[in-house]
Structure 1
Amino acid sequence: MKYTKSVGFFFIWIVGLMAFTDLRAQIIPYPLSKMALEGEFVLKAGMPIVAGEGLRTEAEFLSTYLNEGFVTPSPILASGNGIHLRLDENLSDSLGNEGYSLVIDGAIEIVAATSTGVFYGIQTLKQLLPRDFSDSVPGQVMISNTIIVDKPRFSWRAFMLDDCRNFMGEEVVKKMLDQMAMLKMNVFHWHLTDDQAWRIEIKKYPKLAEVGGTRKDTQLARGSDERVGKPQTGYYTQAQIKEIIRYAKERHIVIVPEIEMPGHAMAAIAAYPWIGSLGTTQEVPVTFGKMEDSFNVADPRVVGFLKDVLDEVVALFPGEAIHIGGDEVNYNPWKNSESITDYMRLNGLSTPMDLQIYFTNQISTYLAGKGKRMMGWNDILGHDIHNERDSSSAKAEQTLEKSSIVHFWKGDLGLVEAAAKGGYEVVNSNHWDTYLDYTYRRLPLSKSYAFDPIPAGLPEVYHGKILGLGTQIWTEYTRTESAMLQQVFPRLLAYAEVGWTIPKNKNYDRFLETAEAMKVQLNQVGIKFGDYAGK
């Protein structure tokens, strides 16, 4: 293949031709560079896949997909003619860990520095096939000859599923991982514990899941006294979690578990009341909102309990980050507890927020000792983002450990800049721009697409501190899989492009056209778009 005799030179050459990028191409997320060539390539049923060393998993993934469409196996070979998948470590400087080149011109070749890059090249190849390919196609398809050189804008491209408020289950999680892989999203943020449920088996404390995983009823709507009228139960065993982690790894997705502390903890406290601050919590709440009780982090036994839980979480999840939530802590029980206020005085902690940061730093240090990084919502920095503190406790004196990943969700966007300038790495999930439980009227598709994780005016020297973005579906009032999917799609497509595509290559009209075309293949897996009305 004439374009790939020297891949390093080829990359430099194609970037010089980026003005010829074809913005009409129907690919989401849109690539860094795409150039149409003359002619077409005939992809035939049973065409072999020639995979270099270290690419067996990726080759099997492509072979399975081609078999679904052609109903003819594509053998995987070490050499010969066919679809070539190849690693070239010399591309790491130009394409990074996730970039790739895809050349279709008399043959098909995908080359990358890593297996992740090859996998993403395969995802792009799939989108170049007919939209109904996996449904029913003849024994061959025509693909326009093209050259694509691609890499992501951001390293953190996350989707979060709240599995606490309404339990979705293993098959739904895998369905979302499949869609994330198609869209080159690489972080699955899994919200596993909250006030209304504890969804992960902890073997040392079995009642966390057995008691905390069940509530008697569920609030029907925001602020409503009506209830669904039946209990909800469910949690993931550690065996199920290992299977989901394996499934995600094959799709080059890292799972970041969220184990809430010190707030959003009432399901855990209902299971083991001694870990709470009030001493009165006995049941898992059936309503939503900011709850009263939280972990008593002034009690060393409780901190030890949480470290025990994290030991099992760390042993399960191989990714670098562990999310501890840290948002919306109700400080009243701490203020009203003599033992907690005594603990604060002994440790020189002036305010409840100082106590939270002090505790959070303990957890950060503990996780660091296990080779992990702590992540939390930006409440953990100590800012009064909810405007609820009195003047005497509005400012915290404690400082969050610099190794922490700050997950911005609420407050003035200036806080993102302040965090970056303060040396923290930030994932931007500003709720006005990324919360998928919001209606399409409140968060239209156009606004999702226009979101930029780098706040306007942030000096370029700090851009590297913005790891990327996360988009979240909170499921308080989204009780079914179908309802959840309609909240997520098509907005997830927009966030995929926000995370991957450089701003000058974004084009909303082209995106809408492509999103409409993708409805066909998404319908095949039971995904219906929400009523975004093309907005």
Structure 2
Amino acid sequence: MKFLLFAFLALATLTNCAVKNRTFSATEVAILPKPMSMDVNEASFALQEGQAIFSNLDEQQSAAKDLQNYIGTKTKFNFDVSNDKQAAIVFEKKEGLDAEAYELSVTPKKIIISASSKAGYFYGVQTLKQLLSIEISKDTQKTSYLIPSVNIQDNPRFTWRAFMLDESRYFHGEAFVKQMLDQMALLKMNTLHWHLIDDAGWRIEIKKYPLLTKVGAFRSDSEIGTWKSGKTSGKPHGGFYTQEQIKDIVAYATARNINIVPEFEIPGHSSAAIAAYTWLGTAGVAIDVPVKFGRLYDNYDVTKPEVITFIKDVLSEIFELFPSEVIHIGGDEVGYEVWENSKSVQKYMKEHNINTPADLQIDFTNKISNYIESNGRRMMGWNEILGKNIHSDFAEKKADKEAETELAKNVIVHFWKGDIKLLTDAAKKGYGIVNSLHDRTYLDYSHESISLEKAYNFNPIPKDLEQQYHKNIYGLGCQMWSEWTPTNKDVERQVFPRIAAYAEVGWTASENKNYDSFKIALKKMQDHWDTLGINSFKDAK
């Protein structure tokens, strides 16, 4: 009888050891975005009820809480954050690592996440989540979950890894924005470029100018189908974020190591504001918020002192809501005809020795840049703010003269269109650059025109740019313009899975990238999106 009992216990022990020491294949351990360096080792760590997380520094607490919540939600285990250094999962300070870098060591006995800052700890946790999801995706009722034994050293290629959401054309709402922030965080993207103001709607409460949302946030109808289709939805559309909602979303993003860069479009794409306050415009004509999308050509009259005061007032409230160092001012697709036809604007230009509308735009832009800098921030704008004519394909702009005035030096140039030489020249002059070339990064483009593989192969650094200027390329943004995506599900279908490709472009060194490996890691991410009900495009190639 004793022999049988001993044999049973021995078998149980062997079975338990076998479960706790499975070795995972490299394919199973695919992480997205791909780490700088990863070794997959023998055996595994068993995550179980009753274990704990050790963190003793303030900069570790956000990541520790995120991991605790994830484990509790996914496994139903009660995992405490404790001061016991013998805990199963340990956050460890490691001086000398870059701000977003981390190291992750998983052995059968312990998990150690090492970093030098809040961001690094957070990204270590995002990688650990993906490792844990291998087992959780198969069974959420187990008493033990295995995590592969790995050694990972990781650090991003670029400091600017952005997703842009256009909410002027269609208002998508707080829950959707938070969903996007969650998925960005898992993909280690660190910037939400929030396009809240354009012709089609003003989406942010400005207390000093209440008509911006009372009038400017609502339109009577919406063009549908495509440009100049002649068709409309027959339904009014509108919505905006209160300042309290903005603060809540900013805090939500900050907890996920995401900086929100607001965009306040000036001096063009200003119809919603002019619909609210006619005196802001150059034409002096009362208008409604436009039903049609596209390029509309009344602009802010930047020669009026009261308009400059308005812009500074709006910026002052934006400064209070967004801690971002960078403030985006748009500056794209400004139609000059209304300025050319204005006697008062022409008089101002003559008096101030301003030769062309392009020079007037840069003169105005530089003044706003100075104001933004005086408030401890930095201005960013689409690459038209350099004064070059990039719109030879637009009938109404192809004859525009280029500016002679130089753009203020501390401005970040957001490159989206034009000869790539414009980007390289700007980088050589010392401008910071974010590369969002439209035919490589615009998520409103079809999956046929920008395939998943084409998105993945985008390199933000032009091949002809000398090494010494590479530091001026801060990274990339992928843009979700929303003219033809009225529902959140429509947006999801355009964004997913291509956002994952852009995440890896931004994070992973080009020599470490491999599209086949990416597709393996993407399969797990697709499964995750499916569990959330995200309408990811499934035929991506």
Inter-CA distance 206–390: structure 2 relative to 1 (3 Å threshold): closer
CA drift at 1:38: 1.4
What is residue 44 of structure 1 aligned with on the other side? 48
- Would the aligned equivalents of 2:387 and 2:403 in 1 still touch at CA under 8 Å? yes
Larger radius of gyration: 2
What is residue 349 of structure 2 aligned with on the other side? 344
- Would the aligned equivalents of 1:294 and 1:329 in 2 still touch at CA under 8 Å? yes
Instruction: Give the secondary-structure state (helix, strand or coil) at the position aligned to 1:402.
Output: coil
- Would the aligned equivalents of 2:268 and 2:333 in 1 still touch at CA under 8 Å? yes
CA drift at 1:395: 2.3
Cα separation, 1, equivalents of 2:353 and 2:526: 58
Q: Per-residue CA shift, 1:62-87, capped at 9, x if unaligned? A: 10000011212211101233243434
Cα separation, 1, equivalents of 2:174 and 2:308: 30
What is residue 422 of structure 1 aligned with on the other side? 429
Structure 2 length normalisation: TM-score? 0.92
Cα separation, 2, equivalents of 1:190 and 1:284: 20
What is residue 444 of structure 1 aligned with on the other side? 451
**Which amino acid in the other structure matches residue 378 of structure 2?**
R
Cα separation, 2, equivalents of 1:336 and 1:295: 14
Let me know the Cα RMSD of the aligned residues.
Answer: 1.6
What is residue 10 of structure 1 aligned with on the other side? none
- Does residue 64 (structure 1) correspond to residue 69 (structure 2)? The answer is yes
Out of 359-368 and 130-139, give the one that drifted further: 130-139
What percent of counterpart residues are identical?
A: 47
**Which amino acid in the other structure matches residue 146 of structure 1?**
V
What is residue 313 of structure 1 aligned with on the other side? 318
Cα separation, 2, equivalents of 1:436 and 1:68: 32
- Would the aligned equivalents of 1:193 and 1:199 in 2 still touch at CA under 8 Å? yes
Inter-CA distance 314–37: structure 2 relative to 1 (3 Å threshold): same
What is residue 240 of structure 1 aligned with on the other side? 245
Q: Per-residue CA shift, 1:320-360, capped at 9, x if unaligned? A: 00000000001000000000011111111100000000000
- Would the aligned equivalents of 1:436 and 1:471 in 2 still touch at CA under 8 Å? yes
CA drift at 1:226: 0.9
Q: Residues 370-381 of structure 1: matches in 2 within 5 Å?
A: 370-381=375-386
**Which amino acid in the other structure matches residue 241 of structure 2?**
Y
- Would the aligned equivalents of 2:435 and 2:460 in 1 still touch at CA under 8 Å? yes
Out of 292-301 and 42-51, give the one that drifted further: 42-51
CA drift at 1:139: 1.9
What is residue 39 of structure 2 aligned with on the other side? 35
Structure 1 length normalisation: TM-score? 0.93
| Count of aligned positions | 511
Cα separation, 2, equivalents of 1:392 and 1:526: 48
Instruction: Give the secondary-structure state (helix, strand or coil) at the position aligned to 1:90.
Output: coil
**Which amino acid in the other structure matches residue 378 of structure 1?**
N
- Does residue 396 (structure 1) correspond to residue 400 (structure 2)? The answer is no
Q: Per-residue CA shift, 1:478-511, capped at 9, x if unaligned? A: 0111110110000000000000000111110111
- Would the aligned equivalents of 1:87 and 1:114 in 2 still touch at CA under 8 Å? no
- 2:185 corresponds to which of 168, 181, 184: 181
What is residue 466 of structure 1 aligned with on the other side? 473
Cα separation, 2, equivalents of 1:186 and 1:465: 18
CA drift at 1:534: 4.0
- Would the aligned equivalents of 1:87 and 1:115 in 2 still touch at CA under 8 Å? no
Instruction: Give the secondary-structure state (helix, strand or coil) at the position aligned to 2:463.
Output: coil
Inter-CA distance 32–390: structure 2 relative to 1 (3 Å threshold): closer
Cα separation, 1, equivalents of 2:141 and 2:497: 25
What is residue 220 of structure 2 aligned with on the other side? 216
- Would the aligned equivalents of 2:96 and 2:116 in 1 still touch at CA under 8 Å? yes
- Would the aligned equivalents of 1:36 and 1:147 in 2 still touch at CA under 8 Å? yes
Cα separation, 2, equivalents of 1:330 and 1:239: 35
Cα separation, 1, equivalents of 2:397 and 2:134: 57
- Would the aligned equivalents of 1:469 and 1:499 in 2 still touch at CA under 8 Å? yes
- Does residue 489 (structure 1) correspond to residue 496 (structure 2)? The answer is yes
**Which amino acid in the other structure matches residue 438 of structure 1?**
Y
Instruction: Give the secondary-structure state (helix, strand or coil) at the position aligned to 1:129.
Output: helix
**Which amino acid in the other structure matches residue 97 of structure 1?**
A
- Does residue 127 (structure 1) correspond to residue 130 (structure 2)? The answer is yes
**Which amino acid in the other structure matches residue 30 of structure 1?**
K
Instruction: Give the secondary-structure state (helix, strand or coil) at the position aligned to 2:133.
Output: coil
Instruction: Give the secondary-structure state (helix, strand or coil) at the position aligned to 1:41.
Output: strand
Cα separation, 2, equivalents of 1:174 and 1:267: 25
CA drift at 1:280: 1.4
Q: Per-residue CA shift, 1:274-301, capped at 9, x if unaligned? A: 0001111420001111102110001111
What is residue 355 of structure 1 aligned with on the other side? 360
Q: Residues 63-142 of structure 1: matches in 2 within 5 Å?
A: 63-92=68-97, 96-105=98-107, 106-131=109-134, 133=136, 136-142=140-146
CA drift at 1:472: 0.5
- 1:256 corresponds to which of 261, 270, 275: 261
**Which amino acid in the other structure matches residue 107 of structure 1?**
K
Cα separation, 2, equivalents of 1:498 and 1:443: 15
Q: Residues 512-527 of structure 1: matches in 2 within 5 Å?
A: 512-527=519-534
**Which amino acid in the other structure matches residue 154 of structure 1?**
F
Q: Residues 194-205 of structure 1: matches in 2 within 5 Å?
A: 194-205=198-209
What is residue 230 of structure 2 aligned with on the other side? 225
What is residue 478 of structure 1 aligned with on the other side? 485
CA drift at 1:52: 2.3
- Would the aligned equivalents of 2:391 and 2:398 in 1 still touch at CA under 8 Å? no
Cα separation, 2, equivalents of 1:418 and 1:83: 52
What is residue 207 of structure 1 aligned with on the other side? 211
Cα separation, 2, equivalents of 1:412 and 1:320: 29
CA drift at 1:23: 7.5
CA drift at 1:520: 1.6
What is residue 296 of structure 1 aligned with on the other side? 301
CA drift at 1:519: 1.6
Out of 41-50 and 366-375, give the one that drifted further: 41-50
Cα separation, 2, equivalents of 1:451 and 1:262: 31
